[in-house]
Every structure is written in C-alpha cells, then in structure tokens.
Structure 1
C-alpha cells in the first residue's frame, strides 16, 4: 500500500481559474472533462487530448452539469433544470422548481444508474460557505421531465453517488459534516432508511463533492481542507488522504484512460489578497495519478 501511495502525483492540468469550479464529469467518447463555474456562470469542456478549453455562459448560477444520452448536457441552474445544446450553444428550460424558495439555488448533482438527474438546492450564500440554514432540498429530474422532491431542511446540498449494486444512495449536506446513506429503489428512484456512514473531522474541512470508485469506496473533496478523502462507507473509516496545493477543493471525479485518474476542481472565490498569492493555482483543476484504484463511467440522463 505504501509503495503505491508514494507514487501519487498531483498536477494542475486546467490553468484557467474558476471562481467556484464544480461538478466535474468525464466524457469517454472524446476524452474530455466537463464542469461548471458556479458563480462564474459557465459550463466548460476541456479536451485532455488537445488541451483546448471551450465554455458557454449560463443565465443563472449553475450548480452542476451532466451528460445527456441523446447528446448535449443537462444543467441545474438557478431553480430550474435546462438542456444544453453544445453545437448551437443554446439552453432550453426543462423544468422549474415551482415551490422552491426564491432565495435558493441549485448546487451539486449527478445522474443515477437509471438515467434520472438528482440535484439539490441551498440557500444563496451570504459569503462563501456561509448560508441561511435549512433552506435547501433534494430533487430528481426523471426521464419524462417530471421533478420529484425527496426531502428538505438541507443546508448545502452537495456530493452524491450510488453504490455499485445501485441499492444505496450516498449523500452529503455539507454543514452536517457527514456522509449519509439511504436505501435506494432503482425502479422508482425512491429513498428510505436514512443513516450516517461517515463523520468528517472538522480539521479535514467541509465535505463537498463526492464520487465512488470501482471498489465501492467514496472520495470526498473537502472545501477549505485542501484534500480529498477516501472513505469506506461500510466501516465508516478513512482509508486515504490526498493533499492538494489549494485549500478550496470542491469536487472530484474519475476519468482518463481506464478511469484511473482523479480530477479535482477548486475555487478561489472568497480568498483575500493575502491568501491568493500563497495559492497561485486556486481555482484550477488538478489531475491525481498513481492512486492504484479506478473509477466507474458516469451515467447519462435519458430524457
């Protein structure tokens, strides 16, 4: 184990800075990484083959982006779900959150193994990571474009993923400092039996985005912690800690050849003029290699 860990390499691969980089997802067909800049209000695609970066501005604060099976993407922005036609560089609203409070916005999201897009909301930030409490909810956009509300009383709806057998849904409400699990009904998209599987030490930072690896272990990016934790949801233990050269690490996903690279997004928003020179790569996106573990391909929204 130690031998494998000693070969871990962290490199900054996307040098264009994001105010709040988030929601990275790998597109195998053209070896690219798609992600959002929440307050920078844009969706970006970066080719790992050419290094080319292409971005489209969004109308609202954009919390997450996912691939769409029929082509293009779906984003959770403001309080609506929208389709993105990358070729035409246009957006079309799929569904509004009619009952959502006006002082909230979408945050992180991901597609489940059956093609539903799960995304949660949070109160608008008073300053970075400081929000009006308990304003958020978790929603899912189904393939028929209907929206299901799962639960409310959320501070900052964040990282989410599903177990390899699709029977468990993992979820992070950041300010609770824990990773929770639900029994998952893949037929209906229903959640039940909520429980805590891991408590994050406050020294590690604020749990943010999350992904699962091919061994069923979770990788949690810790905002203000400059690290990604690998945790075992079965035993509630921390297995590994990967440090990054920036404090505001926001999310992560596996990608690259065989999904053996871990891509980590970061933010610079909220840093003052004293902190910024100490972290010249804040807001950049990093690639971690040599972890000795692989991820799984992302699912696509089927509607």
Structure 2
C-alpha cells in the first residue's frame, strides 16, 4: 500500500508551487502563482503567513534572514518578506510580456536557476535562466515549453531538469565551478497516463522525487536506471512540486493546485490547493541558499 500525504495547510491555493526549506529559520516558503501570494509556513507554530506579491511569483528562494530572491511574472526580484518590499533585479524576458517565470531552485554553488513558460502554453517560447550571486543573469536553455523541476546530484556533476510538455526528465553534465551545462539527454520518460511531470527534488540517496500534475501523486525514481521505486498518494489531483524539510530533512512537503477544477471535481478533492506533508522514510537534501 502506498503512503499517503496528509493536509497541513488548507490554503486552497489556485496554483501552489515552488516550495523551499529555510534551514536557518526552520520554515517553508512556497507560493500561490495565480493567487499572487508568497507563503511562509512555520511547522512548530503551525502558522502560515502570507505576503501578497501584486504579480505572479513562480518561485522564491532564501537569500539571507527574511530576504528572498523571487522569480516573478516580471523578472527576478529581491524580496523582504517581513518588510513587504520588492526590488527588481533584472527582467530577462521584458520583451516577452506573454511569458512568466514558473519554477526555480538554487544550485550547490548558490546560483538561482529559474525558467519561464508562455501563458498560451505555446511550446518552444520559454527559456531557463541562471542568476549568479553577483546578480548577473544569463540564458542557459532555450526553446522550452514549461520550465519546471530542477535538481543536482550529490557529486555536483549532473543537473536534472523537467520541461513538462516533453514528458521527460533530462540530465545535463554540470560544472559547479562555472555553472556550464552540456550533453542534455533524456533519462526518464512518462506516458502521460498518470499525469505530467512537474516539480522535483532529490533525496540523500540520489533518488528523484517528482510531482505528477493531474496524477494524484509524487513518485520516487532512480535516475541511473529510470526505474520508479515508489509512489506517495496525494488527495489532490494537481500535484505541482515537492521539497524536503523539517529540522531532520525527513518531511516531504508537497504543493498542489485547484485552478481549472470544476465544482464536481472540487467536491471529490476539497483540499486541492493545500500544502501536504509525508514522512517517506528517507532523508532529503537541504534547499540551497542564494549566494551561499
């Protein structure tokens, strides 16, 4: 029998996404893209604070203290969650108003990788960018459909990436010193029958955890063999992303969405858009901090 994730915040987010664990403060940041909100969940206090962003946040990562870096609808921003301030760093797609940032993660060297998507869902119109700690931005991959999950291997030689419409997880050779990626190749292919691959994280054993959008689950994969090892049931169909957190990194936090669900569907999954959690029995990896 599969393990089942439990509801911890009944937020009813339109499009929950981008979870990242702050190991200094022991809180989880996550976003509601369509609701234009950034959340901070404190598991000890069982509180979920909300900062309204005024535009769609694709993902946020921790910089220092309460300062975040956000990949937003209109570019990269420095965000002070407590002071509720937003300062634009750079907008690499200012010339593409039909695009927005979607998902992103910090690599082991402290660079923020984040990609875009077109509101029209048009394939090949988006890209993957890298923001370095000195706030220099460069494009790393072009002709993307919907940029999603990212992860890095423990030896820092491989980067994993999901472009959702391809139904594939790709691997790149990764140079931690320069941030250069090369030799893209598919390592996991989905049929699409049990949802589409969305957000992703990696555990301490080097296995990938992948959210299934419209698939009711998160699955664990061996990137070397392409084998699915186990699945976690989620009581929401639109599972968007996941990340390890908790002081021992043994809790898997899972974000979900409720946008585009009709009333009959919402009756079947009333907690869609909530934040869920499960102890999968394996330790995770820490969320890196920008500039670390």
The answer to whether the 8 A contact 1:79-1:100 is kept is: no
Deviation at 1:59, TM superposition (A): 2.5
1:118 and 1:140 map into 2 onto residues whose CA distance is 4
1:13 and 1:162 map into 2 onto residues whose CA distance is 28
Partner of 2:284: 295
Runs of 4+ off more than 4 Å:
none
The answer to whether the 8 A contact 1:248-1:266 is kept is: yes
One of 53, 76, 84 as aligned partner of 1:81: 76
Q: Structure 1 pair 298/197, CA: closer, same or farther in 2 (3 Å)? A: same
Find the residue that maps to 1:175 and give its secondary structure.
helix
Question: Where does 1:77-226 land on structure 2 (aligned, <5 Å)?
Answer: 77-98=72-93, 100-125=95-120, 131-226=121-216
| Aligned: 1:246 with 2:241 | no
Residue correspondences, number: 292
2:82 and 2:273 map into 1 onto residues whose CA distance is 27
TM-score, normalised relative to structure 2: 0.96
Instruction: Single out whichever of 238-247 and 93-102 deviates more from structure 2.
Output: 93-102
The answer to whether the 8 A contact 2:23-2:287 is kept is: no
- What CA deviation, in whole Å up to 9, does each residue of 1:209-242 have, x standing for no partner? 0000000000000100011110110011111111
Find the residue that maps to 1:203 and give its secondary structure.
coil
Partner of 1:267: 257
Deviation at 1:52, TM superposition (A): 1.3
The answer to whether the 8 A contact 2:250-2:281 is kept is: yes
| Aligned: 1:10 with 2:30 | no
The answer to whether the 8 A contact 2:198-2:211 is kept is: yes
Partner of 2:58: 63
Deviation at 1:21, TM superposition (A): 0.3
- What CA deviation, in whole Å up to 9, does each residue of 1:26-59 have, x standing for no partner? 1223321110000100111011011111111113
Structure 1: which 5+ residue stretches go unaligned?
A: 126-130
Partner of 1:128: none
